[in-house]
Amino acid sequence: MKDLVQSVDRALSILELLADYEEGLGTTEIGERLDLHKSTVHRLLGTLIYKGYVEQLEDSKKYKTTYKLYELGSRLLVKKDLLSVSKKYSKELMEEINEVVHLVVRDGIYSVYIDKVEADNTIRMASTIGRRSTLYSTSVGKAMLAFMDPKEVEDIWKASQIEKFTSYTIDNYDDFLEELERVRKLGYAEDNEENEMGVRCLGAPIFNLRGEVEGAISISGPTIRVTKAKMKKIGPIVRKYADEISKELGYLED
């Protein structure tokens, strides 16, 4: 197969094999079943243990998989659920506001667009599913950050290359923290030409059943349509739809 990385292929084969043996397997057994040298198996197992996918049992010294694979699968399942649950609300929000609606999830220091519902307007927003944007300068990013752990917010800020995309972009950390406090009070975030001149966005966070931020939903439009006065009316509406999605994901507000 083209571009096959042998060590990765072998490591994944070990994981697939171990998944079938609840009591675990020893290095010799793994080597025999996969036709691999014992030293190769031992080296690959060391890496898999280091990354948390495999553990060695103290009593038998055999190796078995951990729940990390389940954790990864669960993350994808949750994101899939978010996408499917949000579909009808994204459409309803677009119809009520008549502006493009985006659904995003966080990926490290970025937000990633996983869904978009376009409005029937002459002037449209240039955005695509899969697009990545900085968290600190967008409404969806601020909406998520405002309800995350303060230490994690600080780490994200430090890891981000803070740029002043427009004259409105907040590039001072203390000012940014004040902005997040405002977001918490309102329940939604504003991007008043902070990421792109001529464009305003309003975003609200979506929570999962554990009360964690799962993503965010937003509307975006040109400043000629999304005026400052109109933003005050749109914000609570975006929050309403975000709350509905959160409820369907199992979130129970205190």
Using one digit for the tens of pLDDT, what is the confidence trace for 86-136? 999 999 999 999 999 999 999 999 999 999 998 876 555 566 787 889 999
Tens of pLDDT, residue by residue over 1-53, are 567 888 899 999 999 999 888 888 899 999 999 999 999 999 999 999 999 99
> Containing domain of residue 201, as a range?
74-248
Report pLDDT digits (tens) over 182-235.
999 999 999 999 999 999 999 999 999 889 999 999 999 999 999 999 999 999
The pLDDT tens digits for 48-81 are: 999 999 998 888 889 999 888 877 776 666 666 8
pLDDT for the residue numbered 80: 61
Q: What is the dihedral of CA 176, 180, 183, 184, to 10 degrees?
A: -160
pLDDT top residue among 254 and 200: 200
- For residue 206, tell me if it sits in a domain: yes
In a domain, 254, yes or no: no
Residue 20 shares a structural domain with residue 132: no
What digits encode the pLDDT tens for the residues 135-194?
A: 999 999 999 999 999 999 999 999 999 999 999 999 999 999 999 999 999 999 999 999
Q: Determine the Cα angle at 133 with ends 249 and 161, to 5°.
A: 125
| Residue 227 dihedral angles phi and psi, to the nearest 5° | -80, 165
Residue with tokens 């902005």: 179
DSSP structure string for 160-179: S----SSTT----HHHHHHH
* 110-117: strand order across its sheet: 132-134, 110-117, 100-107, 213-222, 199-207, 189-192
pLDDT value, residue 145: 98
Same domain, 50 and 79: no
CATH number, domain with residue 46:
1.10.10.10
Q: What's the confidence (pLDDT) of residue 125?
A: 57
Assigned domain for 60 exists: yes
CB 102 within 8 A of CB 238: no
